[in-house]
Amino acid sequence: MIDYPIKGCQYIGKEQDPRKGPVTYCGAQTITGKAYCGDHYWVVYKKGTAIAGRKKEKEIDREIEDLKKQQEIDEMESY
């Protein structure tokens, strides 16, 4: 059994940077055996169901897609 040092969801808002100072964790009830709550587990691993609803899912999906595209562009430019 893995013992996480922090109780509750360990998701850190994307605006927060642990390198710049203390961050605030989500702290919500986690999925059994996971470090994240239902919503953020989905955000982090992009699987499972989002309780918050489909609209939020789509928004996150779009953000992830945008990030992926940006990453691909960055990778292409570095070659």
Candidates 11-19, 45-53, 59-67, 69-77 — which segment interacts with Zn ion by CB under 5 A?
Answer: 11-19
Q: Using DSSP, how many helices (H) and how many strands (E) does the chain show?
A: 2, 0
Question: Phi first, then psi: what are they for 74, rounded to 5°?
Answer: -60, -40
Residues 6, 27: Cα–Cα separation, whole Å: 8
> Is residue 23 at the binding interface for Zn ion, with CB under 5 A as the rule?
no
> Is residue 44 at the binding interface for Zn ion, with CB under 5 A as the rule?
no
Nearer to Zn ion, 15 or 74 (CB): 15
Q: Which residues bind Zn ion (CB under 5 A)?
A: 9, 11, 26, 28, 37, 40
